[in-house]
Structure 1
């Protein structure tokens, strides 16, 4: 036993050694795990920092917008001519910010956070022509009483939406001898002082839209001999007196509070081409320069009650160049013919939404060039055109006047008329021919050889007589919104080759007596919101591309008719009808499988007797229209027939078996 002790100790020693090795292994393992992490960290620290998205450089133009930059990237190529840093986070504008690019021609810093500009920054930029500093915080910079300039070469400067108020513009406009285009829109300027633009004598275009301008000092624009465009819209200006900017071509004073506009009494020739005085508070017509080139005048949405027609020849303003005149949305009671005597070039006259009761043109020398007259939404009681008047008139809009009586041939006196809008009146259509019985005051629409578009919707029309439009090559005819309208079988006679658009919606029509298949050029027809139970018949010669059958009483759509339309039909509206799913199965499958577009497919449903709710036409299948057990219906029918035949055969045999046999006797 004693001799075995050393071996036992050796065993214990080996166990002790093994246990010590086990305690060292976790340290090594941890070191092995940490080593890759340490290597990764060292490698990461050796890498350069993550670069921001690069600018897009095209030739010598660098576009760096929307990159969250605080300055121009330093790696831009030298000689860059255009630098776009818009919509970034630039706050301080210094030489370092612009990476010392002094050769720039166009610099865009729109929509940043700029509130500081290094003095003299633009002195060395002798080539800079366009500078956009809009939508920043330059009002903070202006508080430092430091001037932006000199801007020796800048021709276009945008300072819009910077919170600038009266007096602050001086710090930006002083020493800008080359400036031609200036935008100060969307600031808080209340006054234009006499010396506001004294440092920019070459200005041609000034934008002061959407400020709070209340006052313009006398002579504020006098030093700007080259000024041609001035936008003062959306301010608080109340009057313009002694207007004397002879070289100005475009003046926008819309959306102010102007009550009076008077030009200076002068025989000077004014270059003004466009004057916008819309949305103001004028009660009298503006007094414009006697000698002018005005082509466009907008005095809509004011409080005008009359026009200047009593002025003496010496006081009268000549509008010999005027092409567009808008006096809509005022309170005008009348338009005397004398008002148009000096308008030799007028093409568009808009006097809609006034209170005009009569409109007449008897002198053939008046309005000879006018092409469009809008008299919509007035209180017209009479409308008179003399012979050979309005020879160029193409479009006459008379919507919403409640007209009930007119001279029957009033529109035949318009030799160039193409478009008549008579919606929302109370007119009736005259019959054609000698033996006619017309309602008093009816209007004839036949034999108007140039008429192409006619809107008679919402006129309380009772009938459309035969040949009502014969001799008038209509392309579009709207007879909608005339409930109870009775149309003759030949109402559309004469339009077979011309009519393209036909609208008959919301007329409570239950059936159509007209043969629409004869209208070979018809492409678009609207029959929606009526009481139709059948679809008009068409043949393969049809050109229908768009058909609206919405909101009718259609249970079955004739498949043969719809099949005839399929080659040309592109759009079909068929929602809100009580269609039968199984009675229109072929049609629904055609719609599902063809290229015809059904825009109201979500509301296009059909009725199925086994479903409590209407079924969308896209979900209808042939199996849905088989009876219960219908899959075996044909087989069952054959079986029943066979059983019936077998039963009949058995009955016949049974009858013969029970029949008594005749006695047979033989005599020798």
Structure 2
């Protein structure tokens, strides 16, 4: 009986252990008919998947063999995501019964191992989007996945090791509309490789090793990306056929001449930046030029090349151009004298060239809004050149060597100055690093500037009325690194001014503002400010939101009002860790955030006077007592009377 009593608990524990369900896999998330099992370290899908599941995200797991068992014997998927596993085997015919499968993502696996078996993946009956990127596939391997994909429209083979596109590579996928072959090592494309793809509209061949395209003939293609190759030539077949190409990216190649494009084209976006263009001639011979027909072109980027000149004739057949970027070339002259040219252009970027001549004819470029001329060392311009641009809003003139004309009739202007007054559309003007010595009165009269950058002009002498006319328009004023010790210009008259940068100057006093000031952001870093005038700080208190004050030799006890503003208002000081002040009793500067009023307390004048008076009284009393004591010790005289 005792033995039975001892065995009973053991039997119960064994039965309980056998009755426990097997260890459950980490739970997937189910949202209606979508199941998310990403990044759970799984080798197969849980058997309790809903029968009606349409989307299964099984990415970032440990699947090696993809089979019916791996997918819990489900076949009703619409979207199957298996990227970033370790798949190196796929059960042949696995997808045959998945007649609703539209999207299949097999990227970032080891499908190159499967391809070695030279077995087709089987029919992908309804698949419209297939991602095979980052699988170590090389030439010919993609055929085993594409051989029977009649509905396939989107295909990604990017980041593999494909070196050649064969003529029959896509023969089993004739419905393809978009193909990405980005980041392979393609050297060769056989003739006719894409000719049978009548629905193909987008082709990405970027970041490969293609050296030339000499017979481009894909009339239905709309987007072609050939950037980051080793292209030396791009030439279309000479034909009158209508081409549908709208975007062509040839950037970061080795082209010396402008691409030869189909005459009958609708190209809107052309990028040939970062090549070796020395001429806009489309032929190798300097004596033979071919007209470039780009009537529909809206965006043209030729930046970072070796162009020295752009003839006006180049723009004759560009009636729709809106953006022209020719920055970072060697252009010395840019002239637009013909009234009919560049009527629709809105942005021109000529920055960082070698411009010496810049001319615009009357009524030319009526739509131009933004002109980039920075980094050209321009010294001489026509006085009224910018007044000829009726819609100019942004003007970038940094890193040049210009002089500014004054609008004051009594002011004698230098012969080579430029007028910035009376430009009714101009709102943003950048004139930093121009070696400006003077800013005459009324320099911007009748020009409604919102932003004016005059920074990095050491020694700039501003007339007291230099900003006259900007009272109601100017919002941003930048005057940093000008070596200014005192501002002559009255900034308090600028009623709309909200942001001002006076950093890295030699200021010893603040500009004067009144309570009508609208300043919200003020940068006073790296100046020589010791005391911030209380009246000015009080005037700014109601509007100021952000203040930069680092690297100034502030006096702690002379700025109690500022200290109270820092501690008791909503003012934000982003560089407060660098804002320090000098306290007499401390050898090291004190951070303004750690300063207290008690550290600056001194005996009041009244107490000092009382103490002095008391001290004097004590001294006088002591002297009186001492005198009386001395007199008491003297012998009394003997009085005598005579009869």
TM-score (norm 2): 0.93
Partner of 1:93: 66
| 1:319 equivalent among 276, 280, 294 | 294
Secondary structure class of the residue paired with 2:539: helix
Task: Give per-residue Cα distances to partners, 1:143-183, cap 9 Å, x unaligned.
Answer: 01110121111010000000000010110000111100000
Contact 2:282–2:290 (CA under 8 A) maintained in structure 1: no
How much has 1:51 moved relative to structure 2?
A: 2.3
Conserved 8 A contact 2:258-2:282: no
Alignment partners' CA distance in 2, 1:567 and 1:75: 65
The equivalent residue for 1:169 is: 142
Distance 1:189 1:340, change over 3 A: same
Q: How does 1:335-354 map to 2 (within 5 A)?
A: 335-354=310-329
Question: In 2, are the aligned partners of 1:429 and 1:465 still within 8 Å (CA)?
Answer: yes
Alignment partners' CA distance in 2, 1:99 and 1:40: 33
3-state SS of paired residue (2:577): coil
Measured at CA, do residues 35 and 569 of structure 1 come closer, stay the same or move farther in structure 2, by a change above 3 Å?
A: farther
Partner of 2:180: 207
Larger Rg computed on CA atoms: 1
Map 1:35-434 to 2 at 5 A: 43=16, 46-308=19-281, 316-434=291-409
Q: What CA distance in whole angstroms lies between the structure 1 residues aligned with 2:379 and 2:553?
A: 38
Secondary structure at the counterpart of residue 179 of structure 2:
strand
Structure 1 window deviating more from structure 2 (312-321 vs 496-505): it is 312-321
Q: Is 1:438 paired with 2:413?
A: yes
Distance of 1:610 and 1:393 partners within structure 2: 62
1:480 aligns with 2:455: yes
1:492 aligns with 2:492: no
Residues 640/454 of structure 1: CA separation in 2 closer, same or farther (3 Å cut): same
Offset, 1:491: 0.6
CA distance in 2, matches of 1:650, 1:468: 76
1:638 aligned partner: 610
Structure-1 separation of matches of 2:291 and 2:384: 36
Paired residues of 1:579 and 1:606 also in contact (CA < 8 A): yes
Shift of 1:626: 2.8
Q: Give the superposed CA RMSD.
A: 2.5
Q: Tell me the equivalent position of 1:470.
A: 445
**Per the alignment, do residues 582 and 123 of structure 1 end up closer, same or farther by CA in structure 2, a change over 3 Å counting?**
same
Measure, in 1, the Cα distance between the counterparts of 2:611 and 2:577. Answer: 43
CA drift at 1:317: 3.2
Contact 1:309 / 1:338 at 8 angstroms: preserved in 2?
A: no
Q: How much does 1:98 deviate?
A: 0.5
Q: Residue 481 of structure 1 contacts residue 505 of structure 1 at CA under 8 Å; is this kept in 2?
A: yes
Residue 41 to residue 423, structure 1, CA distance change in 2 (3 Å): farther
Measured against aligned partners, the alpha-carbon deviations of 1:415-471 in whole angstroms (never above 9, x if no partner) come to: 000010000000010121333322221111000000000000000000000000000
Aligned residue number for residue 609 of structure 1: 584
Measure how far apart 1:406 and its partner are.
Answer: 0.4
Q: Which runs of 5+ in 2 are unaligned?
A: 632-643
Q: 1:602 to 1:324 in 2, by over 3 A?
A: same
- Give the unaligned 5+ runs of structure 1: 1-27, 659-668
Measured against aligned partners, the alpha-carbon deviations of 1:326-363 in whole angstroms (never above 9, x if no partner) come to: 00000001010000000000000000000000111101
TM-superposition CA deviations, 1:497-532 (whole Å, max 9, x none)? 000000000000000011111101000000000000
Q: Distance in 2 between matches of 1:122 and 1:462?
A: 76
**Structure 1 residues 561, 43: CA separation in 2 closer, same or farther (over 3 Å shift)?**
farther
Equivalent position to 1:623, from 598, 622, 628: 598
What is the aligned counterpart of 1:593 among 546, 557, 568? 568
